Amino acid sequence: MDSSSERLRLAREQRKRLFEQDALGRTALFYAAEEGGEEQIRKMIFRLRGTGLFPPRLALLTIKDHAGLTAADVAEAKGHQEIARLLRAEQFRMEYFE
């Protein structure tokens, strides 16, 4: 396998892992939001396409856990207001302006 196809395979695996949900229905984004990891969150969401029909970034931001919460809700509940604003603003931007 050449290096470009290997890089593509690894990128696809990383993207797939972003959407994996645990027993609570939470993704890695939920845990980063809970811990206040703003840089980690930025890396997660901005590595995904945010334009076009059904952008994966929007799909990730709108995932709800089994309690009906989004990652933004979890961030807000833990007192990470800036992270909650970032996530909601990005979701709003894509829903209404893209």
- Non-local CB neighbours of 55 within 8 Å, separated by 6+ positions: 48, 49, 94, 98
What CATH number corresponds to the domain at position 81?
1.25.40.20
Contact between residue 32 and residue 41 where contact means Cβ atoms under 8 Å apart = yes
Tens digits of per-residue pLDDT, 32-63?
999 999 999 999 999 898 877 778 999 999 99
Please name the residue that has the structure tokens 């334009």: 51
The mean predicted confidence, pLDDT, of the chain is 90
Which is more confidently placed, 3 or 22? Answer: 22
Domains in the chain: how many in total?
1
Domain residues for the domain of 58 are 3-97
- Non-local CB neighbours of 25 within 8 Å, separated by 6+ positions: 63, 64, 65, 66, 67
* pTM of the predicted model as reported, rounded to 2 decimal places: 0.86
Mean pLDDT in residue range 64-77: 98
Q: What is the pLDDT of residue 1?
A: 56
Q: What is the pLDDT of residue 98?
A: 57
pLDDT band per the 50, 70, 90 thresholds, residue 76: very high
